[in-house]
Homo-oligomer: A and B are copies of this chain.
Amino acid sequence: MSTATLTIDLDAIVSNWRALDAMTDCETAAVVKADGYGLGAGKVGRALARAGAHRFFVAAAEEGAALRQALGPSPVISVFSGHMAGDSDIIGDTDLVPMINSVDQLIRHFEALPGHPFGIQLDTGMNRLGMEPGEWAAIRDVALAQGPQLIMSHLACADEPDIEMNEAQIRAFVEMTEGADVPRSLANTGGILLGKNYHFDLTRPGIGTFGGRPFADASPVVRLEAPVIQCRDLAPGESVGYGNKFVATRQTRIATIAAGYADGLHRVLGPKAQAFAEEEPCPIAGRISMDTIGVDITDLKGDPTSLELIGPQQTPDMLADYAGTIGYEILTSLGGRYTRRYTGG
């Protein structure tokens, strides 16, 4: 095995989704965009469908078509980017529900696929996707007359419970949807945790299902283990890797492992991340290369055959802190070269 192994615990994913579902009295959808946050939308989607998820969300129509193939005809698959130019065939052929973001998209949808299900996405202040209040007011009656399945909006600051923006968004959402006899959805993972008045009729957890912040009680989902290519001894003064960034200050043993930034382990992680031999942390030595990483294993009892980069000792959220980003990006960066092993489900 010369590539690293990414183990994805489908039981943990299901248990996280169920825990988030148990926090509300409404329906819980599953957000599996970006190939299920990098963990495999098909496999994850099937596990969650078996666990009772009926509605799935993806970012793009192309993702929806791939998910349809994995899930079969029954589940509802909604598309956040709505009905874009060129999407009509995919939406029609694979029975997707576009979340309409603008008057342009609404007209496109009604013209290309009359009678085909759709949802409405409203902007309540994030200014990213969805109709503006004025736009919505102008076409609300026309849109509602065609029976949208769902009206949704998205929170810009759900991870920061104290911020005033959350309350402002909820007020805007209620105002814009008042009197519409259509199921409503506002909450992502953060929104579920914010409390009951954010839940409405359907929640849309993403990152929490995959074990990440802000869902503090989530079960860990991912384990990444890289095989050791070789080990070597360094005398003090010898250096490791590009630009000689690690210089041995003592008699040192270095393991070279088969994983690198081409596998989504951001180069910037180098100075802070560690590799683990069971529970023993080993510092990364020098720059992360495209395909390899040097690890200082001097303090281990013997040479390991593999080292763990993601697991209980070093979570995606910890790596995110080291890289100055968020756990979402650590997950969606996980590369195509891993051997992917699924457990449970």
Contact = CB atoms under 8 A, between A and B. Distances in A.
Interface of A: 1-3, 33-35, 38, 59-63, 79-82, 84-87, 101-102, 104-105, 123, 125-129, 132, 156-157, 160, 165, 227, 229-230, 232-234, 238-244, 254, 256, 258, 260-262, 264, 266-268, 289-292, 294, 305, 324-326, 328-329, 332-333, 335-337
A175 to B, nearest CB: 16
Contact of A60 (B82, B102, B258): B258
A232 B291 contact: no
A238 to B, nearest CB: 6
Given A156-B239, A242-B157, A262 B126 contact: no
A34 B234 contact: no
Contacts of A234: 127
A156 B258 CA distance: 18
A273 to B, nearest CB: 15
| Oligomer: number of copies | 2
Contacts of A290: 33-34, 59, 328-329, 332
Given A127-B254, A128-B256, A258-B81, A337 B60 contact: yes
Contacts of A264: 333
Contacts of A268: 268, 324-325
Nearest to A261: B329
Contacts of A332: 261-262, 290, 335
B102 A230 contact: yes
Given A1-B85, A38-B262, A230-B102, A125 B292 contact: no
